[in-house]
Every structure is written in C-alpha cells, then in structure tokens.
Chain A
Amino acid sequence: MVDKQELFQRVELLQDQIGHFYQEIGALKLLLNELLEENQNLMVENANLRDRVGFGEEEKTTPGEAKKYLRDLYEDGFHICNINYGSLRKGDCLFCLESLQRT
C-alpha cells in the first residue's frame, strides 16, 4: 500500500521544482537578451574601430557598411533595436526606426 501522504508530498515537491525551472528559464531568457544586445553593440563598435585603424585592407568595414548591415537586417524582418535585437519583427518598430536614424 502506497503511503498517500508521502505520494502527495512528492507531487507537491515536484510542483515546486517545476515552478523553480520556470523562474530559471525566465532568468536565462533575460540574460540571453542582454548578451544579444551586447553582441550587437560590440559588432558596431568593432566595425568602427577597424575602420579607424585601417585594419585588414580587404575586409574593411566602414561605418557606412555597419549602417547598411543594420538596415538590411531590419529590411529582412528582424529587430535591430535593443529591445528585441535579432528577433523576428511583425510590422515596423518605433525603436528600430529610431536606432536606424541615429546610427
């Protein structure tokens, strides 16, 4: 005979653990977003730095090219704003358009 009380407690424990997993996934998602944003900023900065040092003549990226890259990415249907960088967009985005104007 299974101890009902124990079974119940085990199910409750499992329930708590699932709740925990959820929180963990949520936190990881936020972290991922931050990393994507940071990656984006580093990419632009890198392109600008390369340009300034004249580093690697053949694969030189100018600010103009960085801007074009962002614009192309946006036109291909991705967010380039730091709210949703890299995620698929539906329709135009106020924040993307603002960053395109600024770069």
Chain B
Amino acid sequence: MRLVIKKNELLHALQDVQRAVPTRTTKMILYGILLHADYEKLEISAYDQEIGIKTNISSLPDQEDNPLQIEEPGSIVLNAKYVIEIVRKLPQPLVRIDVQDFTAIIHSGNATYTLNGMDPREYPSLPEIHEEVGFTLQADTLKMLIEHTVFAVSNSEVRPTLTGILLKYQEGTISFSATDSHRLAMQTIEVDVPTGYEAIEAIIPGKSLTELAKIIPDDDTLVNIHITQNQLLVSFANTYFYSRLIEGNYPDISRIFPSSFRSNLQIDGKNLLDCIERAALLARDNENQVIRIQLKPSFIEVSSHSPEIGKITETVEPESFSGEAMLIACNAKFLIDALRALGSATIKIDFTGQGSAFVLYELNNDQHVHLILPVRIGNI
C-alpha cells in the first residue's frame, strides 16, 4: 500500500473508528485499526466484535482538492493508540504512508515514523448485512431519540435485555425505550415513509448507542438504519456503524404505566431542574441520592439532608396544581436525568402516590415520557 492523504481527513476517520477499539481485550489484533486501500478509496475500520465502525475516504483525482492519492492498493493493521497520536502530531497537512509487509512508514514534512503493524488477514471481518430493507431518519432526530432515553438503561448485566434500548417500529411510529426497573424513558416519533418492515423490535446495547451518538452529525444528514436478526447497521455519509443486538425478550412496559392519578402538576422545567440540582448537592452521600418533594396546592417544597453535612430546603411555585397534597421521596439523579432530557418548556407531572410511579412529560406532548418510581419514605 502506498498513498498520500490529507492529515485532517485521516485523523478524523481514525478518531471515529477508534470508538470500536476495545480498551481491554485478550486478542492483540483488536487493538488495531484496519486500513485497506483499493484504487478508488481508503477504508478505515475497527471491530471489537460488539461494535464495528468503518469509514471510507474516496480518491477524487479529477478534483483540485483531492484528499487522497492512491499509488498502490494494499492493507495493514496499525495499533490504534499510536497511529492516532502520531497522525495528530504530524507537522504538515499531507501525509505519505508506505506499507511494506507489515510495516508502515509514515512521512510528513521532515518527520518519518516506522510503525510495526499486524497482519490484516487476521483482523475480524465486519458483519454482512443486506441493505434492501430499512428506514431513514435525520441524524439529529436519531441523536434525540438516543439522548432522551439512553441514560435510563440498566448498568447491571444480571438481566442483559435491560442494558439495551428497545427500538420498536409499528404503524408509522418509531419508539426508543429504556428502563433499569426503577425508572423508564421513552421517546416516540412519527415516520411517514415506508420502511420495508412490517413491524420490528430490536434491543440495541445502550453502550453502542452512546458511541453512535458521538459520531453522527448534529444536523439533518440522512441516516439509514437496517436491522437484521442479530445486527444493527447505521450508515450515513461515508460511515458505517455496526452493533450486535441483545437477544431475549424485552419486558412488557405498557403495563407499568399508571392509568389513574391522584395529583397533577404543571411547572417550568428549568426552574424545577435548577431547584432539584441544588437539593441534590446534599443528597450525593446517601445511597439512593434521595430528595423529598412536598406537594401542596400553593407551592412545592424540595428538601434533602445529609446527617453529617446539613440540610437544604427550597420552595418553587408551580404554574398549576390539582389533586391531593402529597409527600414523595425520590432519587435526585433520576429526576435530573429526566428533567434535562425534557428541557426548559413547561412540563407536566402526574403523581399516583408514594408507592407508585409518577410520570413526567412535556405539556401537550406525550411522545416524550419519563416514569420514575419513588423511594419509600420508610426506607430513608
């Protein structure tokens, strides 16, 4: 392999695919990034057998601003950490890479690095996915779906299904749901384009979606999503993102939504968030980060205490309140996660009682919902 490439294009691609390089593994080869050039393009990819990322840089010889000149095709696997650090620090905007056997010579300006590589034939191949069925979303919509839900997945491997987000497509809607069995986050959107699927349910690892959200652009770039029996493929621009799916059945979450409420609150989301964040300062030390919320028709009192440090009490005024006065205790972090996702508009909270879940959503928008189970007052 012999080629000349723009440093920034190369660095950007390496940094994107690096997200699929494991931090710890027993297989040396997986610490590497695979570079593969034919006469048209350079493919840069990494695959830890859980997440795979591939990005292509095309050679455009007719263009004045050609990012890549390929003199001889070939491939090599280079240690991700070293190649990224080296490329980042190269002195000139152009880089020459010459590969002979399993050694890469990297030139830029007066700097020359000789980097020992690994055999590309030993690198695992990315899953093969037929792309005929799938659906398309805008990158920023997909990012929103992920960011509004992913924090609620479970960190415990005891029940693997809950470590993933449930993607559900049916009757013109797509929903993302996540729960750790104490709280749940759900975002639904309407899609008007046919997808080629009747209906799908797939459980995508939360970790994969967190990485995906970091590499998809923050704009209306179109993103194609394909789901097979056990793989997800998301493609956009020149990049392909693969993730395994989690096997098993996701629990029936429709049942855990309370159907009747005893109190209802409307409040400015930003005001409530600020108030909860202040109260949470003293809740960090107790195990469940518990804060108390006293609901009264005229005001809401948020408080928390830490036996060693002290206590904090703050009141906020709701825009409206109806139903019974009530004392609720709950995990501050759960509430903060939900309120941050909901943003600064007016939000609505429906309470069922001390021992059952309360529901938060944007006023007049039930497509973005959070559900939180209070902590029993006797337990704090």
A residues within 8 Å of B by Cβ? 15, 18, 30, 33, 81-84, 87, 91-95, 97-98, 102
Contacts and interface: CB of A to CB of B under 8 A. Distances in A.
A22 to B, nearest CB: 11
Contacts of B298: none
Contact of A98 (B182, B255, B375, B376): B255
A75 to B, nearest CB: 11
Nearest to B27: A15
Given A92-B376, A94-B357, 12 more contacts: A81-B251, A83-B161, A84-B158, A84-B159, A91-B373, A92-B373, A93-B182, A94-B179, A94-B184, A94-B371, A95-B181, A95-B256
A29 to B, nearest CB: 9
A98 B356 CA distance: 9
A84 B179 CA distance: 13
Contact of A30 (B182, B184, B248, B356): B248
B23 interface: no
Most buried by A among B26, B27, B158, B184: B158
B112 interface: no
Contact of B158 (A18, A87, A97): A87
Contact of A95 (B248, B251, B288, B375): B251
B162 interface: yes
Nearest to A33: B159
Contacts, number: 50
B376 to A, nearest CB: 7
Most buried by B among A82, A92, A102: A92
30 contacts: A15-B26, A15-B27, A18-B26, A30-B248, A33-B159, A81-B181, A82-B251, A83-B161, A83-B162, A83-B181, A84-B159, A91-B182, A91-B373, A92-B182, A92-B375, A92-B376, A93-B181, A93-B182, A93-B373, A94-B182, A94-B184, A94-B371, A94-B373, A95-B181, A95-B251, A97-B355, A97-B356, A97-B357, A98-B255, A102-B255
Contacts of A84: 158-159, 181
Interface of B: 26-27, 158-159, 161-162, 179, 181-184, 247-248, 251, 255-256, 288, 355-357, 371, 373, 375-376
In the A-B complex, the 9 residue pairs with the closest CB atoms: A94-B256, A93-B181, A98-B256, A83-B251, A98-B255, A92-B373, A94-B373, A84-B159, A94-B181
B131 to A, nearest CB: 28
A15 B247 CA distance: 24
B165 to A, nearest CB: 16
Nearest to A30: B248
Nearest to A12: B27
Contacts of A18: 26
Nearest to A26: B160
A98 B258 CA distance: 9
Contacts of B355: 92, 97
A97 B357 CA distance: 10
Nearest to B356: A97
A92 B376 CA distance: 8
A101 to B, nearest CB: 8
Nearest to B179: A94
A35 B357 CA distance: 29
Nearest to B248: A30
A30 B26 CA distance: 25
Contacts of A95: 181, 251, 256
A81 B288 CA distance: 22
Contacts of A15: 26-27
Contacts of B247: 30
Contacts of A98: 255-256
B337 to A, nearest CB: 16
A93 B181 CA distance: 5
